[in-house]
Amino acid sequence: MSLSTRPQWAQTQTDLTGKTVLVIGGAGGVGEGVVRAALDAGARAVAVGRRRERLDELAARIPHPQLVVDTIDALSVDLTARSAKLAERFGPFDGVIVSVASWGGQGRKPALELTDTEWNDLLASNLTAVFRLYRAFIPHLAGRGILLQLNGMSAEIPFPGAAGRALTAAAQKSLTRTIAAELGEGGPRVYEVILGMIRTRARRLAGTDDPGWIPASDVGWHVADLIAGTSPLAGNDLHYFVDVSAGPEGADSMRPLALPRPAGAAGAR
């Protein structure tokens, strides 16, 4: 039974049989799409998150023998021990996909109206959480396995009313690319993937859907192609997936996001 539709741009030779993909935030809107595509590509998928009931619902929706669910909390004191336990049972991981996000409890609020507590919570639940996940799980990647962070356009552009989410997204991008540079060639591969609007189950249930948005499982097929090494973007650490028909693109092809030329630079008029 197919759990997703392989998009037209995806690589037909991608086969993850015998591979294990850990999806942190696997019961989330985007994470579920990654889980579905990984299973369709033949992998074992280990979906983790904080809430047991959300994970159990995922397992009930996807009754697949290769799906495992378990709980972890990126901010818990025992994260390192939990990651070692998961790795002992299922690792080393061919893919560790970080698909976590928190909007905080403050709702939409101008940046300078955030209280110290709200500010600190947003930093912890988005930035510190991702840092701790990298530190705990990178040691459990297979030799040429991938660490991949799913991020949003808030990493790039102002997001009025959601400053905490936007500035942590920008910092997550910086952290991920810094680790990619620090690890260099030859070891685990590290990717930052910036997404546009995603068609998620939660949005569908809330009655908001748009065929112009990107199906969550399309994101999963991009991830599968990267794990398999079949993606033409495998050599580029920064990808944008913002246009459903174009599919994922390497950073260089995103001309609108290029920095403006400094005044007086060659070619400036």
Ligand X SMILES: NC(=O)c1ccc[n+]([C@@H]2O[C@H](COP(=O)([O-])OP(=O)(O)OC[C@H]3O[C@@H](n4cnc5c(N)ncnc54)[C@H](OP(=O)(O)O)[C@@H]3O)[C@@H](O)[C@H]2O)c1
Residues in touch with ligand X (CB under 6 A): 24-25, 27-31, 49-51, 54, 72-75, 99-102, 125, 129, 150-152, 195, 197-198, 200, 202
Which one, 11 or 151, has the nearer CB to ligand X?
151
Q: How far is the CB of 184 from ligand X (least distance, A)?
A: 25
Q: Which class for 233: exposed (0-12), middle (13-18), buried (19 or more C-beta within 10 A)?
A: buried
Residue 49 or 188: the one with the smaller Cβ distance to ligand X is: 49
Structure tokens given for 98: 């970080």
- CA distances 197 to 59, 192, 240, 241, Å, are 25, 16, 12, 9
Closest CB to ligand X among 5 and 102?
102
- For ligand X, the closer of residues 16 and 216 by Cβ is 216
Contact assessment for residue 13 and residue 41, using Cβ atoms and an 8 Å cutoff: no
23: which strand partners? 47, 97
The b/e string for 160-199 (b: 16+ C-beta within 10 A; e otherwise) is eebbbbbbbbbbbbebbbebbeebeeeebbbbbbbbeebb
CA distance 197 to 71: 27
Q: CB of 31: closest distance to ligand X in angstroms?
A: 5
Q: Report, in Å, the least distance between residue 262 CB and ligand X.
A: 31
Which residue's C-beta sits nearest to ligand X?
28
Of 146 and 195, nearer to ligand X (C-beta) is: 195
Give least dist CB 143 to ligand X, A: 26
Residue closer to ligand X (CB basis): 11 or 149: 149
Task: Pull the structure tokens for residue 19.
Answer: 């591979």
Q: How far is the CB of 23 from ligand X (least distance, A)?
A: 9
Maximum pairwise Cα distance, the chain: 62
Closest approach, Cβ 43 to ligand X, in A, equals 19
**What is the nearest approach in angstroms of ligand X to the Cβ of residue 247?**
15
Whether the Cβ atoms of residue 242 and residue 195 lie closer than 8 Å to each other = yes
Whose CA is closest to 32, among 12, 3, 11? 3
Which residue, 73 or 249, is less far from ligand X as judged by CB? 73
Distance of CA 265 to the CA centre of its chain: 36
At closest approach, how far in Å is the CB of 248 from ligand X?
13
Q: How far is CA 174 from CA 79, 197, 244, in A?
A: 23, 21, 25
